[in-house]
Amino acid sequence: MSVSVVVDVEQLGRQRVTTVVALAFCGVNSYSHTERVRLTDKNEHIGATSILILLPPSEGKAAGGNAGQPWNPASGTFSETLQDKCLTVVKALKKLRGGDAALLGVKGEHLERARRANASLIGAPSLPAWQRYTGVVWDHLDLASLSTAERKRALSSIAVVSALTGLVMASDPLPDYRLKMGARLESTGSLATWWRPEVTSALLHISQRRTLIDLLPQEHRGAIDWDQLTGTIRLELVAKSGGKVGGHNAKAAKGLLARHLLSATSNGATVTKAAASFKNAEYSARVVTL
């Protein structure tokens, strides 16, 4: 059976919930990409403060942290949903003594640092995620340079899909660690597949009040069941030269795009208009509504 329901976004709140419940009552427990409920661009009608940008973590991380705020799996905005699985990952890494070069993808001093951090995560000094991540995307997002008011809004508008914790807000505490979403642990198998139900559940809860903006790489998109999320806006970088998108410059552009979205939507622009006004020497932003 093909189900295609278009919801008036100006009546999204209760009608969206009612529509989904009605479908379930009729026996439609799951449906394909072409059968799911379709929504128009919610952000055209929702206040700009209602966006949530999904970003990847970075392999590069700041060392150390605040020993007065020790980390544990119960830390963070989504811990009620995710802490049990997070603890499973923590225990698996401790059993592996932090992991080896094949699992962690580094050698030498970087491997030794990663192993020490991964083997003693609970109680480790923490930093907010936006300060912990130091990779190219986060360097160019550059939240530290924002005003206090701008940064406060940014921290409430960015979530990170993480192999260690599943999902964190940019303001949530994190320990120093190293683990890729594409990794496999004996107790979990593929981390992206293993995290998917809980990460999707957390996003379903928060997306009732937010327009989700997907800036994730493919590896991290695998940790989300997109068929359960409606109205998500995916933004993709397009090379003006027609060449392949990737590497340092593309990561830098993604960080700049996220920063631009925060600024433009705070001034009342829709996500579509904000993407269209993104200026970069090498890339433009293309909107894909899921």
- pLDDT tens digits, residue range 165-200? 999 999 999 999 999 999 999 999 999 999 999 999
**Domain assignment of residue 166, yes or no:** yes
Same domain, 25 and 136: no
Percent of the chain with pLDDT over 70: 83
- Tell me the average pLDDT of the chain: 85
Q: E strands along the chain, which residues?
A: 6-7, 38-39, 51-55, 66-70, 125-128, 158-162, 166-169, 173-174, 184-185, 189-190, 211-214, 233-239, 283-289
Better-scored residue on pLDDT, 153 or 30:
153
| pLDDT higher than threshold 60 for residue 4 | no
Question: What DSSP element (H or E) covers 142?
Answer: none
Same domain, 115 and 32: no
**Domain assignment of residue 239, yes or no:** yes
Same domain, 10 and 127: no
Same domain, 32 and 145: no
What is the domain range of residue 273? Answer: 49-289
Q: What share of the chain is helix, strand, coil (3-state, %, to 5)?
A: 45, 20, 40
Rounded to an integer, the average pLDDT of 267-279 is 95
Same domain, 123 and 213: yes
> What's the N-to-C CA distance of the chain in angstroms?
20
Q: What is the pLDDT of residue 161?
A: 98
Percent of the chain with pLDDT over 90: 77
Q: What is the pLDDT of residue 220?
A: 98
Rounded distance between C-alpha atoms, residue 154 and residue 262, angstroms: 7
Question: Could you tell me the pLDDT band of residue 285, with boundaries at 50, 70 and 90?
Answer: very high
Rounded to an integer, the average pLDDT of 45-67 is 83
Predicted TM-score (pTM) of the model is 0.82
Same domain, 29 and 76: no
Q: What is the pLDDT of residue 223?
A: 98
Same domain, 100 and 14: no
Same domain, 139 and 35: no
Same domain, 140 and 30: no
Same domain, 10 and 74: no
Question: Could you tell me the pLDDT band of residue 284, with boundaries at 50, 70 and 90?
Answer: very high
Q: What is the pLDDT of residue 251?
A: 97
Number of domains in the chain: 2
| pLDDT higher than threshold 70 for residue 288 | yes
Same domain, 12 and 82: no
Question: Could you tell me the pLDDT band of residue 207, with boundaries at 50, 70 and 90?
Answer: confident
**Domain assignment of residue 1, yes or no:** no
Q: What is the pLDDT of residue 9?
A: 30
Same domain, 36 and 55: no
| pLDDT higher than threshold 90 for residue 79 | yes
